[in-house]
Amino acid sequence: MTSPTDHGAAAQEPGSGGPLANLTIVDLTQFLSGPYCTQILGDLGARVVKVESPQGDLAREIPPHFVDDSSLYFHAVNRNKKSVVLDLKTADGVRRLMRLIAEADVVIENFRPGVLARLGVSAAQARAADPSLIWCAISGFGQDGPYRDKPAYDMIVQALSGGMSLTGEPGRTAVRAGVPIGDLAAGLYAAVGVLAAVNRRHLTGEGEMVDISMLDCQAAMLTYQMAYHLHSGEVPGRQGSAHDSIPTYRSFRAGDGVEVVVTANTERMWQGLCRALRVDALIGDERFTTNRERFANRHVLWPLLEAAFAAGSAAQWVERLEAEQVPVGVVNTLDRVADDPQVRHRGMVLDLPLGERSVRVMGNPIRTEVSRREGHEPPPRLGADTAAVFSALEEAPEAADPAADGVPSS
């Protein structure tokens, strides 16, 4: 068995490409939650070997936009990875995968529970052969429980978690979040879980099984809203653009049709909001003296503020509110976000080279002194690294093959 720091050392020297440069990760994920997790780790320097079927990650085929025969959906979450093609429906494909896993620090997969084991790829068997191995399984509902075998996608989990019941306008149909938070939150929690397991391995030499449920992640994100329900028994409904505690924490439509978001959540900010909107009389109105009164009378207050915002342009209100030090912003469309000077300054729009052209995607938000890679590798072509990866493995000492017993013959 290799030591906790030996895995992947031949591929990258620690510190040469980011804080995770000594980690080798076998990526058995597709679509969004798993690839998002492994891209985060790859951005931080880990060597990520993405194992795909001969047909490739199904995300390569998602319309409507394609670059070099792969979907932009795929390009958005698969940079800084190598692509290896293996047919896990064959004994040779399973054998080669287990050889790859034998040299890895971490395996990350998002198959439905039990699917890999039926193919002959057993987490328990791999970890028995190498107790320092970290195995992370992302699934809709986790590796146990009554929903274990149910299929799950982002919107299913948003709905079951209760988060979707809070989203949308009061009295109207629930809507899913505009970004796929069910998948993305699971990817984030998985990355945190993997890094916690890596730290534990540094301390003890032992690996870990990390079990990430998309539903668990969404339930955890209910935070104070669920705490309110558990305390009061009240079931909240759609939140719309408002806050369920602070009536001056919401969006308003300016006279030019642009939505303006304000978060006036202190007495100073409330008074600044009134002055900026030229409704100073509301400051002394006994119905709005404190946040408690404003909350109790919010359905009276909101039309007054809406009328004030409608009397000017968004740019005018942003300027006046900023002068009063009231947090404010407009609801940007994605074209404005891509060109936003702060977003650009922080390097959050990446140009990934693809031969003579490039593709623009969103970048890595984790900034430390050594976390930023000097350059990013574009998403790999299907199977582009199969020969190189396995050629390097052939030069390494052959490890015991944990898949030798019970591998299907076809």
Catalytic residue numbers?
Answer: 183
Considering only CA atoms, which of 54, 45, 74 is closest in space to residue 368? 45
Cα 396 to Cα 393: distance, rounded to the nearest angstrom: 5
Amino acid making up residue 124:
A
* Crossing angle for the helix pair 154-161 and 181-204, to the nearest 10 degrees: 90
What is the number of other CB atoms lying within 10 angstroms of the CB of residue 339? 11
The dihedral of CA 197, 203, 204, 205: what is its sign? positive
Which residues are CB-neighbours of 252 under 8 A, at least 6 positions away? Answer: 259, 260, 262, 305, 306, 309
Q: Two tokens at 50?
A: 């993405």
DSSP reduced 3-state for 223 = helix
Q: Reply yes or no: is the peptide bond before residue 64 cis, omega within 30 of 0.
A: yes
The bridge status of strand 47-52 relative to strand 249-253 is: unpaired
Cα 205 to Cα 357: distance, rounded to the nearest angstrom: 45
Are the C-beta atoms of residues 131 and 206 closer than 8 Å to each other? yes
Which residues are CB-neighbours of 341 under 8 A, at least 6 positions away? Answer: none
DSSP for 234-277 reads: ------TTS-SS-TTEEEEE-TTS-EEEEE--SHHHHHHHHHHT
DSSP reduced 3-state for 91 = helix
What is the number of other CB atoms lying within 10 angstroms of the CB of residue 59? 20
Report which secondary-structure segment, H or E, holds 330: strand 328-330
Cα 369 to Cα 357: distance, rounded to the nearest angstrom: 30
Are the C-beta atoms of residues 67 and 378 closer than 8 Å to each other? no
Q: Two tokens at 205?
A: 């030499």
Considering only CA atoms, which of 236, 218, 229 is closest in space to residue 174? 236
